[in-house]
Amino acid sequence: MIGDDDTGLYRSTFQEIPQGDEIMKAGVLGSGMVGQAISARLAGLGHYVMIGTRDPNKLGEWRASHKDVKIGSFAETGGHGEIIFNATNGAGSLEALKLAGESNLNGKVLVDISEPLDLSNGMPPSLFVNNTDSLGEQIQRTFPKVKVVKALNTVNANVMVYPQRLANGDHNVFISGNDAQAKETVADILKSFGWLHILDLGDITTARATEMYIAIWLRLWGALGTAMFNVKIMK
């Protein structure tokens, strides 16, 4: 999800939520604001993290203040991670995942945070896939042995990793995917971030809905003047 208004939240912190019992090796593909946020949060929780980038120099000062996060190529990051986070630009996600290496990804859980944004005509963007397909589904079809779980793409990067800083965490995050155990794994990670309300929408086709949610998210961002917001499901 695009939009950010507090990059200071990307600094690693070890105090907010205790480390879980299960420490993992995580690979984060993409070195933009989302990739930086996810990497710093995972490292702050004690995981062994590598962030994959085409250009290590892009990380600049962030790299100097996050020495607990290793820097690697997409292929190195794909090989490093027991679980992979796709935080690349949606238009380049399939290419980035191919560079990570199918053999490095097969059998692993892939948390897909990407959005199929088409910015060719400026803001607000359109979507290059929607309605009858989704980027999450395209990734799953391209990598059939990877356990793709769509998650976190409906909120700003800061809310992704520190949900309790908004309304004390009383709001929802959604997950979509074909593999029930993979979704449980992702839900556990989200809980470690501080998420209280995780709604499983169903199989990977339900990613169509969360990806298309970007249209109203962008309008809400404009109306509210901040990216620090989310929705709560009431019934």
Tens digit of pLDDT for each residue in 35-76? 999 999 999 999 999 999 998 888 988 999 999 999 999 999
Tokens encoding 47: 């995981």
Q: Which amino acid is at 73?
A: S
The pLDDT assigned to 1 comes to 53
Q: How far is CA 130 from the centre of its chain?
A: 19
CA 168-174-178 angle, 5° bins: 150
Percent of residues, the chain, with pLDDT higher than 90: 84
pLDDT (tens digit, 9 = 90+) per residue, 126-159? 999 999 999 999 999 999 999 999 999 999 999 9
What contacts 167, CB < 8 A, 6 or more positions away? 230, 232
pLDDT reading at 99 higher than 80? yes
Whether the model pTM is above 0.85: yes
Q: Give the rounded percent of residues in the chain with a pLDDT score beyond 70.
A: 91
Q: Left (φ > 0), alpha (ψ -120 to 50) or beta: where does 30 sit?
A: left
Q: Are 186 and 111 in contact (CB under 8 A)?
A: yes
Find out whether 158 and 6 touch, Cβ atoms under 8 Å.
Answer: yes
C-beta contacts of 105-108 below 8 A and 24+ residues apart = 105/78, 105/143, 105/145, 105/146, 106/143, 106/145, 106/146, 107/145, 107/146, 107/147, 108/81, 108/82, 108/83, 108/84, 108/146, 108/147
Say how far apart CA 202 and CA 207 lie, in whole Å: 9
- By the 10 Å C-beta count (0-12 exposed, 13-18 middle, 19+ buried), 151 is classed as buried
Q: What is the pLDDT at residue 21?
A: 56
Spatial separation of the C-alpha atoms in residues 18 and 50, rounded to whole Å: 21
pLDDT tens-digit map of 174-208: 999 999 999 999 999 999 999 999 999 999 999 99
Q: Are 109 and 83 in contact (CB under 8 A)?
A: yes
Q: How many residues does the chain have?
A: 235
Q: For residue 123, what pLDDT is reported?
A: 87
Domains along the sequence of the chain with CATH: 22-224 (3.40.50.720)
